[in-house]
């Protein structure tokens, strides 16, 4: 199962909005509403930010939102803040009963 495709890096100024794309295939992202997004700061464990495409766990900022169109999922961070600077990974349920991650996107706050 191939990894999902994410841009290597995305940057924005404080207060701006950025969007991270996660491109899969019709057989994974396109077939299941089981896309999740994880934030990882250096040296820390990943943290769940979005699950089932659009849902936010309790305690996660409403500035984060998820969406999906065909076989591409997206994570949007609005009102960018310094604390948002981190690596972000998407994940989707995939054929052959597996989970597949994207390669990760480094978000830089300028």
Mask: binding to other proteins, 3-42, rule CB under 8 A, as x and -? x------------------------------x-x-x----
Q: Which residues contact 61 (CB under 8 A, 6 or more apart)?
A: none
Residues 56-85 close enough to bind other proteins by CB under 8 A: 57
The helix (run of H) or strand (run of E) holding residue 20 is: strand 18-23
Among 1, 21, 23, 67, binds other proteins (CB under 8 A): 1
Nearest residue to 22 via CA among 4, 38, 40: 4
Contact positions vs other proteins (CB under 8 A): 1, 3, 34, 36, 38, 45-48, 51-52, 57, 89, 91, 93, 96-104
């Amino acid at each position: 199962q191939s990894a999902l495709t994410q841009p290597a890096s995305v940057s924005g100024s404080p207060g701006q909005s950025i969007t991270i794309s996660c491109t899969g295939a019709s057989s994974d992202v396109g077939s299941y509403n089981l896309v999740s997004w994880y934030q990882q700061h250096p040296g820390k464990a990943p943290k769940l930010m979005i699950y089932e495409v659009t849902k936010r766990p309790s305690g996660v900022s409403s500035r984060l939102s998820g969406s999906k169109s065909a076989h591409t999922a997206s994570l949007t961070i609005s009102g960018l803040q310094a604390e948002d600077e981190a690596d972000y990974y998407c994940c989707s349920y995939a054929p052959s009963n597996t989970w597949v991650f994207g390669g990760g996107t480094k978000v830089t706050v300028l």
